[in-house]
Amino acid sequence: MSVQVNTYVLVGTRLKYETGQFERYEKWTDSAFKPKQAGLVCLYDGMCGEYIFLGWVIAVTENHRHFYEPIRVKASKELRETVKEDLIKTCGLTNPKVGVWIVSHHR
């Protein structure tokens, strides 16, 4: 069994992990080898079952790599509101609390 890891800077929300939710968010899940950097992304922790993140990726590392330069996150109020509207419209979430997250995501 192989393990892939990427570190993400994401503007979005963290959902409570519950088993059986993968199918609901599967179409937005990311690949370690071809990380998405546009539109809605889901980071679903199926290994330890500790989190589900939904949002827009600001920056992401390659598989098993790190950021080589500091990342400056500019998550304006307008960006957070736009992401919030996307989460409500696309995923059917009710009033998600949107913030900036840095996540090392293993698969």
| pLDDT (tens digit per residue) in 15-57 | 988 777 888 888 888 766 665 657 899 988 877 768 899 999 9
Residue 107 resides in a domain: no
Question: What pLDDT shows up at residue 33?
Answer: 62
Nearest residue to 38 via CA among 58, 52, 11: 58
Q: What global pTM score does this model have?
A: 0.83
Q: Print the domain residue range for 52.
A: 5-102
| Radius of gyration over every alpha carbon of the chain, rounded to an integer in angstroms | 13
Residue 77 resides in a domain: yes
Within the chain, where are the H helices?
Answer: 22-25, 77-91
Q: How many domains does the chain have?
A: 1
